[in-house]
Amino acid sequence: MDSTHAPPSVACRIGWQSPAPVPEGYRFNAFLEASRGRLQAHGLELAAFFEGGRSPAAGLPDDAMPSPLEIAFLPNIRAQVAAMSRCFRHAIEELGYPAPFHFAFASKANTAEEIVRSTLTGGAHHEMSSDVDVEIARRMIRAGLLPEDRMVLANGFKGPGSAYARNLLALRREHPRVMPILEDASELGSFADRGVEFDFGIRFRRPREADGAGDRDSRFGIDAAGVKHLAAEIDRTPGSRFVLLHAMFGSAGYDEDDFVAALEPGLDLFARLGRNHPHLRYFDFGGGVPGRTTLDDGFDYDRFARLLLEKTLAVCARRGTRPPALIGEFGRYTVSEHAAHLFGVIAVKANEAGPPWYLIDGSIMTSFPDTWALGEHFICLPLNHLDRPFRRVRLGGITCDRDDVYPPRGSVVPLFLPQVAAAELDETPLYVGFFSVGAYQEMLGGVRGSKHCVLPEATELLIDDGEDGGFVCDVVPGHTTEDVLHNLGYGRTARVGAPRTAAPVALV
Ligand SMILES: Cc1ncc(COP(=O)(O)O)c(C=O)c1O
């Protein structure tokens, strides 16, 4: 994961930014819209989930759901795969680019079963980084979701003797397109001469440049001389072929021009290696393509695809090499938008130092760890009362941690929510939603794990397309007190060995 984000002092748009009510029909972005004072996300009226008696759409629950509530809108994941593939298809046609583009999902961004399943049914190749990932891929293969034509790109450390390397070797016997991407020359020994053929990638570490750019202190990848050496060793080894150069230098903090410029040293190395390595045909530009986590327009994906193909054509023409098939490993881009986390406002409290506090029935910092760890921002909007006057507020989580606030400490970004009085919340509750929180936040916060201040995991609704334009939905119940206690070791019964009895400490 790359931690290049907008610092909290940089302005961005996270919601409604005025004391005026939101006009009827106002569109915040491609999937969020105001309708009769309520927020619609992906066409669903979210507040209705809490009210009961009226399902937001065919196939969704009409019983009132508990707050807080997590929503995973799985069709959005497949739509993201299709949209990026379309950007590249258009650029390929426009420029007459002579090789294909392949979309891979960087599964570390969200490794939950329903997410990986959705990327695969959307047609994505699969990227992984650790031992347990291998078992996930195996289960997807056995479920028929990861067919033989899909690449399984294995990043991450896989030194000789590691469980990850051993398991990848076994997976290769079950799937023809398992492709280890070597981070270090020593990793080749884990796979070569083991009775199965392998196509390999090598991860390149960009040299430090005069302007300070580059990855000299990165622990990932190999310098150009090392890549050349390892590539030759792979091609000398029977049953092994060097087919892919991995060069992840783009970053979620870059615009399209900077992103493509950062890839140039990798493209140049690809073009030079291409002359000596007949099987080399993929250039993998890794991750770093941002998702839209705020309401700003941000990164232009169409322009990015065109610039990248233009640059690749230019570099390959200069070096006299055939242009590569391009692979992108999209993590945050694929899964940011599908997830929302909804909360009830349970109290309004004066704040001597600024806008009043609206306290919610869950935690901001445990639900979205990047808000306090990196000062990152996500879209935050009310689900109801959009037709009321708004006021500037701060959100506070229910933990007793001073950092459990939004916008994050140090942020200059304003948050406006509808005006409500503490006394009316029982009668007319206010609900708020955080949107585009589907990448990394759940994994960093610990999916279905124990949370800060022993807050239970929220109930989750997994929504997918159903028959006849309706939806199907799985409800994953939130944690009970008993679940939390069990997770933390209370009430365990099976103990091996004699118990140690500690005498009570005497207090004087
Ligand atoms: C090798 C590799 N590929 C892809 C990704 C995904 O990056 P992103 O979520 O920015 O797309 C990462 C993230 O750390 C990575 O290390």
pLDDT for position 500: 67
Domains of the chain: 32-74+338-487 (2.40.37.10), 76-335 (3.20.20.10)
What is the crossing angle of helices 224-236 and 256-274, to 10°? Answer: 40
The b-or-e profile of 389-420 (16+ CB within 10 A means b, else e) is ebeebbbbbbbebeebbbbbeebebbbbbbbb
**Nearest atom of ligand 1 to the alpha carbon of 332:** 9
Query: What are the helix (H) ranges across 322-440?
Result: 332-335, 364-367, 369-373
For ligand 1, atom 16, name the residue with the nearest CA: 1
Instruction: Judge if the upstream peptide bond of residue 407 is cis by omega within 30 degrees of 0.
Output: yes
Residue 291 CB–ligand 1 contact under 6 Å: no
pLDDT band per the 50, 70, 90 thresholds, residue 494: low
**Nearest atom of ligand 1 to the alpha carbon of 329:** 4
What is the rounded average pLDDT of the residues 116-145? 98
- More confidently predicted of 353 and 386: 386
**Nearest atom of ligand 1 to the alpha carbon of 439:** 9
What is the rounded average pLDDT of the residues 211-230? 77
For ligand 1, atom 13, name the residue with the nearest CA: 1
For ligand 1, atom 9, name the residue with the nearest CA: 331
Are the CB atoms for 82 and 124 separated by under 8 Å? no
pLDDT for position 4: 47
Sign of CA dihedral 52, 55, 61, 66: negative
Closest by Cα among 376, 379, 437, 388 to 417: 388
In this structure, the number of other CB atoms found within 10 A of the CB of residue 168 comes to 25
pLDDT band per the 50, 70, 90 thresholds, residue 6: low
- More confidently predicted of 214 and 203: 203
* Nearest-angstrom CA–CA distance, 151 and 217: 30
For ligand 1, atom 4, name the residue with the nearest CA: 287
pLDDT at 186 over 60: yes
pLDDT for position 8: 55
pLDDT at 218 over 70: no
Residue 2 CB–ligand 1 contact under 6 Å: yes
Chain mean pLDDT for the chain = 92
* Nearest-angstrom CA–CA distance, 1 and 6: 15
Q: What is the pTM of this model?
A: 0.94
pLDDT for position 10: 64
What is the rounded average pLDDT of the residues 59-73? 95
Q: CA geometry: angle at 111 spanning 106 and 112, to 5°?
A: 145
Percent of the chain with pLDDT over 90: 80
Among 133-137, 210-214, 287-291, 301-305, the minimum mean pLDDT is found in 210-214
Residue 84 CB–ligand 1 contact under 6 Å: no
pLDDT at 2 over 60: no
**Nearest atom of ligand 1 to the alpha carbon of 251:** 10
How far away, in angstroms, is 251 Cα from ligand 1 center? 9
Residue 287 CB–ligand 1 contact under 6 Å: yes
State the first-to-last Cα distance of the chain, in angstroms, to the nearest integer. Answer: 51
**pLDDT tens string 91-111:** 999 999 999 999 999 999 999
pLDDT for position 1: 53
What is the rounded average pLDDT of the residues 69-92? 98
Residues 6+ positions from 131 with CB-CB distance below 8 Å:
162, 163, 164, 167
pLDDT at 301 over 60: yes
Residue 56 CB–ligand 1 contact under 6 Å: no
> Which structure tokens are listed for 40?
């619609």
Provide Rg for the chain, Cα atoms: 25
pLDDT band per the 50, 70, 90 thresholds, residue 491: confident
CA distances from residue 347 to 352, 364, 428, 495 in whole angstroms, order as listed:
16, 15, 12, 44
DSSP H/E element including 29:
none
**Nearest atom of ligand 1 to the alpha carbon of 2:** 14
pLDDT at 235 over 60: yes
pLDDT band per the 50, 70, 90 thresholds, residue 469: confident
- More confidently predicted of 102 and 212: 102
- Residue whose entry in the numeric block shows the structure tokens 């669903």: 44
Are the CB atoms for 127 and 153 separated by under 8 Å? yes
The greatest distance separating any two alpha carbons of the chain, rounded to the nearest whole angstrom, comes to: 84
Are the CB atoms for 227 and 183 separated by under 8 Å? no
**pLDDT tens string 362-403:** 999 999 999 999 999 999 999 999 999 999 999 999 999 999
pLDDT at 190 over 80: yes
pLDDT band per the 50, 70, 90 thresholds, residue 3: very low
What is the rounded average pLDDT of the residues 302-309? 98
Among 192-196, 297-301, 455-459, the minimum mean pLDDT is found in 192-196
Ligand 1 mutation target, pool 246, 329, 336, most atoms within 8 A of CB: 329
Residue 309 CB–ligand 1 contact under 6 Å: no
**pLDDT tens string 420-465:** 998 899 888 999 999 999 999 988 888 888 888 899 999 999 999 9
Q: Whats the size of the chain, residue-wise?
A: 508
pLDDT for position 53: 85
For residue 102, the SS3 value is strand
How far away, in angstroms, is 189 Cα from ligand 1 center? 25
* Nearest-angstrom CA–CA distance, 471 and 61: 10
What is the rounded average pLDDT of the residues 66-84? 98
Residues facing 104 on adjacent strands:
125, 329
Are the CB atoms for 153 and 128 separated by under 8 Å? yes
How far away, in angstroms, is 71 Cα from ligand 1 center? 24
Ligand 1 mutation target, pool 244, 248, 301, most atoms within 8 A of CB: 248
Are the CB atoms for 337 and 31 separated by under 8 Å? yes
